[in-house]
Amino acid sequence: MSLNLEQYVSEFSAHNVNGEHLLQLDGSKLKALGMTSSQDRAVIKKKLKEMKASLEKARKAQEKMEKQREKLRKKEQEQLQRKSKKPDKCSSDATEGASEQ
């Protein structure tokens, strides 16, 4: 409707075309849905291309965020492991002082 192609809404609805299905449509499938105007198909195909590019960009951004989170988790885990391996200087000083007496 935002593309001023309201005349195809009923046909798309009748064929249960949802967002996921819409992304799979090509020129011949659009034609089979009753979109006889090549200009209308071109408008839809252009918009679909833009949507796919946007989805791909969002997917890559999501993957990047997940990698950054994983890297941060590993770094925090390594720091915790290092802290648990280091002897506590205060407690070692106290035991040395007690052994000297």
Query: What local confidence, expressed as pLDDT, does residue 20 receive?
Result: 86
97 falls within a domain: no
Q: 88 pLDDT band (50/70/90 cuts)?
A: low
CATH number (domain holding residue 66): 1.10.150
In a domain, 101, yes or no: no
The answer to the question of residue 93 being in a domain is no
1 falls within a domain: no
Domain that residue 53 falls in: 6-82
Q: What is the pLDDT of residue 93?
A: 53
**pLDDT at 83 (0 to 100):** 86
Per-residue pLDDT of 57-75, as tens digits, reads 999 999 999 999 999 999 9
Give residue 33's region: left, alpha or beta (phi > 0; psi -120 to 50): alpha
**Section 34-40 average pLDDT:** 92
Domain membership of residue 88 (yes or no) is no
Compute the average pLDDT of residues 10-31.
89
Number of domains forming the structure of the chain: 1
Alpha carbons 98 and 36: distance in angstroms, whole number: 93
Considering the domain boundaries, does residue 75 fall inside one?
yes
> Euclidean distance between the first and final Cα of the chain, in Å?
88
Q: Residue 94: pLDDT above 60?
A: no
